[in-house]
Chains A and B, each alone.
Chain A
């Protein structure tokens, strides 16, 4: 089975840039998506096809994917960005999620 690995938590100061990684075997050969889930809410798509932002998602969110690692970058991090973030990819008719990363805005 295919696995995606994320760090359990990432801390960032307000206004700084946060980077959340997602690792998987040859992940760069697949498309990565990212979801934001705030406490008590449903997940929201923030990045798809490695780098694209859905309508309504802040330009502060960006993504990249190369080699074995996909990265979600949040620039000018705000308190409202504090949430759990999940990466996701597709492999052989299986939709795989990473374990999630809690973004802590200190």
Chain B
């Protein structure tokens, strides 16, 4: 059974840093593409970042240069390092497993329960 368990959320001051983790089970993170999607309170889903099986990473413009996505294959875990946090980064952050149909049919087939990040003084 595929499971994704996020952790690391919490309250952080503007300008601060936080590292989110996503522990995966039931599959191997290094053989799939994985991503983070966030949802601000009362708002819609916003893609944040993706890492491909080959290690390439992609970021939304809103977080580029501030967030870094990585993975530890030995722990089957995904990480999102967040720096220079802003109030607008406040959101529930979901870890999701990616799937691909053909060359462009990217989607997310499994999602974690999410972890809340609050950026406030």
**A-to-B contact residues, CB < 8 Å:** 1, 30-31, 33, 35, 37, 42-45, 48-49, 54, 84, 86, 88, 90, 93-100
Contact of B60 (CB < 8 Å), options: A43, A49, A94: A94
Q: Give chain B residues whose Cβ lies under 8 Å from the Cβ of A49.
A: 101, 105, 107
Decide if B47 touches A30 in the complex (CB within 8 Å).
no
**Is B109's beta carbon under 8 Å from chain A?**
yes
Q: Give chain B residues whose Cβ lies under 8 Å from the Cβ of A48.
A: 99, 101, 105, 107, 109
**B-to-A contact residues, CB < 8 Å:** 35, 37, 44-47, 50, 58, 60-61, 94, 99, 101-102, 104-114
Contact of A96 (CB < 8 Å), options: B47, B50, B94, B104: B47
Decide if B111 touches A43 in the complex (CB within 8 Å).
yes
Shortest distance in angstroms between B2's beta carbon and chain A's nearest beta carbon? Answer: 11
| Cα–Cα, bound, A35→B44 (Å) | 12
Q: Give chain A residues whose Cβ lies under 8 Å from the Cβ of B45.
A: 35, 37, 43, 86, 88, 97, 100
The 9 A-B pairs at the shortest CB distance, nearest first, are namely: A31-B105, A33-B107, A90-B106, A95-B47, A100-B44, A97-B45, A42-B111, A49-B101, A93-B58
SS class of chain B's interface: helix, strand, loop or mixed?
strand
Decide if B94 touches A97 in the complex (CB within 8 Å).
no
Q: Give chain B residues whose Cβ lies under 8 Å from the Cβ of A33.
A: 107-108
Decide if B44 touches A95 in the complex (CB within 8 Å).
no
Q: Give chain A residues whose Cβ lies under 8 Å from the Cβ of B101.
A: 31, 48-49
Decide if A42 touches B46 in the complex (CB within 8 Å).
no
Q: Give chain A residues whose Cβ lies under 8 Å from the Cβ of B111.
A: 42-45
